[in-house]
Amino acid sequence: MEVLRGLRYVFYLIFHPFNGFWDLKHEKKGNLGSAFVIVGLLGVTFILRRQATGFIFNTVNLLELNIFVEIMSVILPFALWCVANWSLTTLLDGEGSIKDIIITSAYALAPLVIINLPLILVSNVITLDEGAFYYFFISLSVVWAGALMLVGTSVVHQYSMTKTLFCTVAIVIGMGLIIFIGLLFFSLIQQVWSFIYTVYKEISLRL
């Protein structure tokens, strides 16, 4: 019930972002549950967009569709964004907790779901000539979500717009850094593992 109430709030929030995000945090209008539902729906939207978009607009080879990759292409950037956001704003006097950040970011992504999900249906009944509408709405959803993300970050941390813009750039760089360190970590683990394995093999062959 709580989750449903949170989801219904999305339709208010995307049209009134400033009030919406303020109440989201301070009036507890949203909750983690509905945030995860939105991210989950976004994952579903991405898969459906690949799989069910009309043939005319679907330029992806369906033989190479990988649902796991599609889901990860939503969840991984989202998680990275939240972690990098929290790490940076904690140092830069941000007022949002990690919970606030997750809820805000998830709600900001709502237009991607709300616009793209019906668009998948529409893409099955329009022709190439009407494609301009299709591409317009796709761009609209991205721009809308991006704007909401900015407003959300500024409201949740009580930042000015300039500070928000600066922070956003820093967060994106931070995401890159996390990926780099992650890859480094795995590559080192691999080295260590192969070392241990080699020692084990050496001993087992000699005994």
Interacting residues with another protein (CB under 8 A): 55-56, 59, 61, 125, 127-129
CB of 47 to another protein, least distance (A): 20
Specify the residue, 60 or 161, whose C-beta has the smaller distance to another protein: 60
Tell me the residue type at 141: S
Specify the residue, 1 or 125, whose C-beta has the smaller distance to another protein: 125
CB of 28 to another protein, least distance (A): 30
CB of 110 to another protein, least distance (A): 26
CB neighbour class for 126 (10 Å; exposed up to 12, middle 13-18, buried from 19): middle
* CA separation for the pair 113, 115 (Å, rounded): 6
The packing angle between helices 98-108 and 67-91, to 10°, is 130
* CA separation for the pair 81, 25 (Å, rounded): 19
Specify the residue, 128 or 205, whose C-beta has the smaller distance to another protein: 128
CB of 63 to another protein, least distance (A): 8
Specify the residue, 126 or 170, whose C-beta has the smaller distance to another protein: 126
Q: What share of the chain is helix, strand, coil (3-state, %, to 5)?
A: 85, 0, 15
